Amino acid sequence: MQLKQPLFFDTYKENKDADIQALIQGLLCPQATLSPKYFYDEMGSVLFDAITLLPEYYPTRTELEIFTQQANEIHAHFPKSATWVELGAGSCQKAAQLFTHSKPSTYVAVDISVDYLSQHLKDLQAKNSDVNVVGVGMDFSHSLTFPDKLQQQLTLDPLLALYLGSSLGNFNPIEALYFLQRVANLCKMGQPGSGLIIGIDLVKDSSTLERAYADDLGVTAAFNLNVLRRVNSLLGSDFDVRDWQHSARFNVQESRVEMHLQAKKNLSVQWQGQQRHFKQDETIHTENSYKWSVKKFTTLLLQAGFTNTRHWTDQKSHYALFWAN
Ligand SMILES: C[S@@+](CC[C@H](N)C(=O)[O-])C[C@H]1O[C@@H](n2cnc3c(N)ncnc32)[C@H](O)[C@@H]1O
């Protein structure tokens, strides 16, 4: 018998030129910046999955704990015979865990790490022949428009959007609002019962937050440094990872953990006839991870166009899962 194969749409590769221009612009800013979306080549995706196993990295464990301990209440908000659209699905491990409780008729996994997603989807499809598994390689930071054929299909069933792992934290509050507006519009395309389930990391003490982004084994440091190799492969630049070190700090005023790469010495980096000098200790800002309060995030969901919200937290109130429609 032939195994069912997932359907796969790859819309990401078409936008490479625009990405390169944005990368160069970020590197030439007075505070050099790289978008966190560049972390996720194959190595970056593997390293992220390793981070989720670290004792210091509480978000993944805590999100799973909430899903497990309050399973009946949470899954009561999952529409039946639905299409699930998981944004930033990565290895799809979370969907595989959720399938033990509720199953969609169609599961659409969206991610910028196209090859990594595609490999893991084959596995998920092989283990779940009763679900139509669809992959979309896409950068959703600016738009959430799916290929025509898929976009039409999304109107036929109730649609459950899933955005887990507190990935929304990479967007600043304005970007997060625009992103959630696009998700609210996506949910409105589906049949009645459509909604969103989203995982959000909450504000807490600085030391718990900073340890989660600077673990003792140095896995997060490797994840951060790997972005320089990614930039080398996209731009043809000559970053040497040995010249840089990882740093993570909680910026209380902005309510965000910032990750930076700090130059260990004065150096310059060249690419395509251009160059940038970095002084010793100067940094490249590689990630923000915004932390929210339940109250502020509920307000954001309502501003984005959702009308009903619910949330569940763990005992320490470190993390929250929200439902909205
Ligand atoms: C923090 S990881 C979370 C993975 C998984 N959802 C989890 O909860 O463990 C973020 C995921 O979003 C994907 N991603 C990041 N930026 C993206 C973008 N602009 N468009 C699409 N996917 C993106 C990454 O490849 C990665 O799989």
Give the nearest ligand 1 atom to 90 CA.
27
Question: 3-class SS at 133?
Answer: strand
Q: How far apart (Å, rounded) are the C-alpha atoms in residues 25 and 272?
A: 13
53 located within any domain? yes
Which of 7-16, 129-138, 172-181 has the weakest average pLDDT? 7-16
Cα of 122 from ligand 1 centre, angstroms: 18
Cα of 234 from ligand 1 centre, angstroms: 19
The residues pairing with 83 across neighbouring beta strands, listed in sequence order, are 106, 159
Query: Per-residue pLDDT for 4 more than 90?
Result: no
Cα of 171 from ligand 1 centre, angstroms: 12
Return phi, psi of residue 232, to 5°: -55, -40
pLDDT digits (tens, 9 = 90+) for 20-78: 999 999 999 999 999 999 999 999 999 999 999 999 999 999 999 999 999 999 999 99
Residues 6+ apart with CB under 8 A from 178: none
Which range marks the domain in which residue 100 is found?
49-204+293-324
212 located within any domain? no
In this structure, how many other beta carbons lie within 10 angstroms of the beta carbon of residue 47? Answer: 20
pLDDT digits (tens, 9 = 90+) for 62-119: 999 999 999 999 999 999 999 999 999 999 999 999 999 999 999 999 999 999 999 9
Cα of 88 from ligand 1 centre, angstroms: 4
Q: Whose CA is nearest to atom 20 of ligand 1?
A: 139
Cα of 111 from ligand 1 centre, angstroms: 6
Q: Which CATH number goes with the domain that contains 154?
A: 3.40.50.150
279 located within any domain? no
115 located within any domain? yes
225 located within any domain? no
263 located within any domain? no
Q: Which of 16, 34, 40, 65 best tests ligand 1's pocket when mutated (most atoms within 8 Å of CB)?
A: 40
Ligand 1 contacts (CB < 6 A) are 37, 40, 45, 48, 52, 60, 88-90, 94, 111-113, 138-141, 164-165, 167
Q: Whose CA is nearest to atom 1 of ligand 1?
A: 167
Number of domains observed in the structure of the chain: 1
For residues 290-300, b (16+ Cβ closer than 10 Å) or e, as one string? bbbebeebbeb
Compute the average pLDDT of residues 310-315. Answer: 98
Q: Which of 111, 140, 145 best tests ligand 1's pocket when mutated (most atoms within 8 Å of CB)?
A: 111
Go through the chain and tell me how many residues it has. Answer: 325
Q: Whose CA is nearest to atom 3 of ligand 1?
A: 165
187 located within any domain? yes
Cα of 169 from ligand 1 centre, angstroms: 11
166 located within any domain? yes
Cα of 264 from ligand 1 centre, angstroms: 29
